[in-house]
Chain A
């Protein structure tokens, strides 16, 4: 399976935007973790913006950055949203409400609790009627989201947006997501003048050691958030070329060969 990368976005502590992240991941600048400034989804009307949680805001900001880098309009790009869970703050609030005597669930929280909330707000914000899917594969959500996006790339441009944010207590006791992390990739099936790199993916490799990050701080980030499993691939894109091994379900791995386009 093969696709060309046209645009990249990253938002994580110390990696705010692809330009900054690229320099760090290519080893041109040291990694200096700092709290991620909450992204403002300028795309959304103010009334909708107030209703959205952190994960939707992060997803929208990522989509906007990657699409701008690719120089494409939203209504020309299908989307795949990958996340290891629904909005943890919303789920936590709902579970607390359901455990109380009154069981008053907020209607807005309820519709924001769906896994495809980022996809819904993305289409509302961009007025795009394009097909969109939202996938989950626990710790392997980025890998399976990437696989879905590559499978779609033959049909036209597709954008993968993968992100998770930390969960509040007590939900955090069940699921350790300790740092926010998100990335987005705009992929096409054919080479275009904007292609930055080409990915060749073989999805069916027996278990091998997954790629890790050389920097201890970046390696900590890689395991602090399911979607940060994308970091070795992003590092390969920043470097120019290399092979990446990503874990997927069933204890198997996917090999990705990354080369300049």
Chain B
């Protein structure tokens, strides 16, 4: 594919609000996870929750979009000079030529979950629940479109935990096909009871902070957050990091369990390398999906080994952020961009003793080694797989 440049990006998660805070947390091995005190949840698990005090209401003429998910999106849009950069891009391209491609899994469903507690005697929901602009998945892209007054194509990609990685694929295709000239690509997901109790019902929640690739790993910690990227065909300055390749595949195996040998994951990574025109040796660091469940990490270990062998440094950053579900693809793409631009390789918060049954060159401590090109993996329910190649264009 033609490289597309990440001319500006922003990030917000439990690990850090903004790039500087996030990079500091990664360097200091400071995890954003804490025991779950979210809403009325009563579950023995940890979460990566953004401090409520940081989440300002969405107000004014955008008030209809107010919900936790869009508050997190708004927080992210206001970091790292992102909103100014989009305003300038709108001047360059015209509002109609900038598309919006956002990944989310549960959007603002929390609003509806709470409304169901307040049904009347006849079972009807209370007035005032905003389905279209809060609950519906499209709310996330619609909010970003309205926040910047954009008129290009806007769509939400909702493929569970690969959603916002795949949003980059949609953006790249739309730009290549001429449907828009630039794109805001991102992901946002927020804590809600559906995912907390849903993953709980599957027995996939760790009672501790998640420990990817640890011998004693026993599940995920759900997180929330957002990352947003301004993607353009030309770099804003020399050396700007670019999306170099993307690969997508389907497991065709099971709705909630990955293929045991990571077959679909392997196909996605190989397709991403092919799309970037690179061989495996060109990848200096792999940001794993690395959720911290027994089966996910084991399958990904086999898949990555099949593509890269055992020497390529890799790690999961979910020990910092938690598993941010539909947002993790964009969040981890931005982590890769930060790693390339600022010259570091993330380690793995909370991972103490590597599983001897896993074979990868898994980094425990964040190091000052600078990757030139990184790969980011995101896999999800339904057997959906997506790998991104992010780095400096040649």
CA A233 to CA B202, docked complex, whole Å: 42
Residue contact A170 to B145, C-beta cutoff 8 Å: no
| B201 at the binding interface (Cβ < 8 Å) | yes
* Residue interface bits A146-179, CB-to-B below 8 A is 1, else 0: 0110111010000000000000011101110000
Residue contact A103 to B158, C-beta cutoff 8 Å: no
CA A91 to CA B194, docked complex, whole Å: 9
B249 proximity list for chain A (CB < 8 A): 129-131
CA A69 to CA B234, docked complex, whole Å: 42
* Residue interface bits B105-138, CB-to-A below 8 A is 1, else 0: 1000100110011010001110001011001111
Residue contact B381 to A116, C-beta cutoff 8 Å: yes
CA A91 to CA B125, docked complex, whole Å: 14
Nearest CB on A from B322, distance (A):
18
CA A201 to CA B229, docked complex, whole Å: 27
* Residue interface bits B320-338, CB-to-A below 8 A is 1, else 0: 0000000000000000000
| A126 at the binding interface (Cβ < 8 Å) | yes
| B370 at the binding interface (Cβ < 8 Å) | no
A154 proximity list for chain B (CB < 8 A): 176-177
Which A81-127 residues have C-beta < 8 A from chain B? 84-86, 91, 94-99, 103-107, 110-117, 119-121, 123-124, 126-127
| A204 at the binding interface (Cβ < 8 Å) | yes
Binding site for A on B (CB under 8 A): 96-97, 105, 109, 112-113, 116-117, 119, 123-125, 129, 131-132, 135-138, 141-142, 145, 150-160, 166, 169-170, 173-174, 176-179, 193-194, 197-202, 248-256, 263-264, 267, 271, 380-384
The size bracket of the interface on A is 35 or more
Q: Which of the residues A91, A107, A136, A175 comes within 8 Å of B109, measured between beta carbons? A: A91
CA A246 to CA B261, docked complex, whole Å: 44
| A138 at the binding interface (Cβ < 8 Å) | yes
* Residue interface bits A176-193, CB-to-B below 8 A is 1, else 0: 000000000000000000
What are 20 A-B contacts defined by CB distance under 8 Å?
A98-B113, A107-B201, A114-B158, A114-B159, A119-B382, A120-B383, A129-B267, A135-B157, A136-B138, A136-B158, A144-B153, A144-B154, A144-B155, A148-B173, A150-B177, A151-B177, A170-B125, A203-B179, A204-B152, A250-B154
Q: Which of the residues A105, A171, A175 comes within 8 Å of B198, measured between beta carbons? A: A105
Whether A169 touches B173, Cβ cut-off 8 Å, given contacts A114-B105, A129-B250, is: no
B116 proximity list for chain A (CB < 8 A): 95-96, 98-99, 170
Residue contact A174 to B256, C-beta cutoff 8 Å: no
| Residue of B with least CB distance to A120 | B382
Whether A135 touches B194, Cβ cut-off 8 Å, given contacts A116-B384, A126-B252, is: no
CA A129 to CA B262, docked complex, whole Å: 12
CA A106 to CA B200, docked complex, whole Å: 10
Which A4-38 residues have C-beta < 8 A from chain B? none
Residue contact B383 to A135, C-beta cutoff 8 Å: no
| Residue of A with least CB distance to B263 | A129
Q: Which of the residues B123, B159, B193, B202 comes within 8 Å of A115, measured between beta carbons? A: B159
A203 proximity list for chain B (CB < 8 A): 153, 179
A103 proximity list for chain B (CB < 8 A): 193, 197
Residue contact B194 to A116, C-beta cutoff 8 Å: no
| Residue of B with least CB distance to A121 | B255
B253 proximity list for chain A (CB < 8 A): 124
Residue contact A138 to B382, C-beta cutoff 8 Å: no
Nearest CB on B from A162, distance (A):
13
A151 proximity list for chain B (CB < 8 A): 170, 173-174, 176-177, 179
Whether A173 touches B153, Cβ cut-off 8 Å, given contacts A110-B198, A134-B159, is: no
B254 proximity list for chain A (CB < 8 A): 124
Highest count of chain B CB atoms <10 Å: which of A91, A116, A137: A116
A86 proximity list for chain B (CB < 8 A): 137, 158
B198 proximity list for chain A (CB < 8 A): 94, 105, 107, 110-111, 113
B132 proximity list for chain A (CB < 8 A): 138, 175
Add 18 more A-B contacts to A119-B159, A121-B255 (CB < 8 A): A86-B158, A98-B113, A103-B193, A106-B201, A111-B255, A113-B198, A117-B382, A123-B383, A130-B249, A130-B250, A136-B138, A137-B141, A170-B123, A173-B125, A174-B135, A249-B141, A249-B154, A251-B151
| Residue of B with least CB distance to A153 | B177
B256 proximity list for chain A (CB < 8 A): 107, 111
Residue contact B194 to A110, C-beta cutoff 8 Å: yes
